[in-house]
Amino acid sequence: MTPKFDAAFRNFKVTALAGGVGGAKLLVGLDEVLQPGRLTAIVNTGDDFTHFGLHISPDLDSVCYALAGLADLVHGWGRKDESWQVLEELRRMGAPDWFALGDRDLAWHLERQRLLNEGKTLTEITAHFCEIFGIHSHVLPMCDEPAPTLIKTKEGAWLGFQDYFVRLKCQPEIAEIALLGNRAIAGSELVIQALQEADLIVIAPSNPWVSIDPILALEGVRDVLQQKLVVAVSPIIKGSALKGPAAKMFNDLGIKPSAQAVRQHYEGILDGFIFDNLDLEDAEKWQASAIITEPFQTIMTDDADKIALARAVISLGVRILQGR
């Protein structure tokens, strides 16, 4: 049954931390359920890299395309109604083709690079694109400076994230993950402000290690989260991730992947945690904690699922608030 919450809570200001595919789905639900402009998404840019001289920001684009209703729901990344003429021509020329940019997606990248070259920030460009595509939620890259996630393999090599993820198909075993290019980076003023002003902070069902941790690693972010109402949704269901290498990363790092492991990963910042109905039996064995946990259907196959989960997240936040 769809959880109900008072219409007043549609006025809630929600700030969500998200990566790409799974995170974007919940953002679509939140965007639908909340009053226009009451959702701010802070999006991971640790996956960003340069390809053919163009700045690529995969999670930011997945989120914007999803909120604009333009996402390719089959791949989970890129644009729907896409054509691939440029990629085919590049292939014919023997150019690198391991990272596939469709023609429409390429136009977005060309324009973003032109604006970056003019000195605009990623935050400014994202706001401009959101306006063009009629997105009324606010989308903020987690920071404007390069903050690459680096993967150290068990063989000792350091890889850029897209090298690991797309080119090597997540096959190398991970020994270590370095966030923010191993530098200290402060959360931007807009990011910190969006967290401070939120009635509820949501951690989307994105990869904890490489989508959410980079945002949490920004100076100032954890401090704000510790003082706010925070609800997370597990991206791990029955020990697996629906998409992507989250479960494999837990295994590589010596932790059994489970919803409980996700809850423990966020210990210290969470007030509420939603895990999938399929893990209900497992949850009965979890150690007690101050975090209020709740089962719900977290698999989002259509918009109704996205909206139902968004309502469940907000209604859990509201109940925690009312119980205080």
Q: Which residues bind ligand FO1 (CB under 6 A)?
A: 19-20, 47, 58-59, 61-62, 77-78, 99-101, 105, 162, 165-166
Q: What is the 3-state secondary structure (H, E, C) of 235-280?
A: CEECCEECCCCHHHHHHHCCCCCCHHHHHHHCCCCCCEEEEEHHHH
Q: How far is the CB of 244 from ligand FO1 (least distance, A)?
A: 6
Q: How far is the CB of 266 from ligand FO1 (least distance, A)?
A: 19
Which residue number, 165 or 266, has a Cβ lying nearer to ligand FO1?
165
Q: Are 159 and 150 in contact (CB under 8 A)?
A: yes
d(CA 82, CA 100): 11
Which residue number, 75 or 136, has a Cβ lying nearer to ligand FO1?
75
Residues in contact with 94: Cβ distance below 8 Å, sequence separation at least 6, in sequence order: none
Q: How far is the CB of 243 from ligand FO1 (least distance, A)?
A: 8
Q: Are 14 and 314 in contact (CB under 8 A)?
A: yes
The β-bridge partners of 55 are 50
Q: Are 43 and 91 in contact (CB under 8 A)?
A: no
Q: How far is the CB of 242 from ligand FO1 (least distance, A)?
A: 13
Which residue number, 245 or 272, has a Cβ lying nearer to ligand FO1?
245
Q: How far is the CB of 128 from ligand FO1 (least distance, A)?
A: 18
Which residue number, 54 or 278, has a Cβ lying nearer to ligand FO1?
54
Which residue number, 20 or 317, has a Cβ lying nearer to ligand FO1?
20
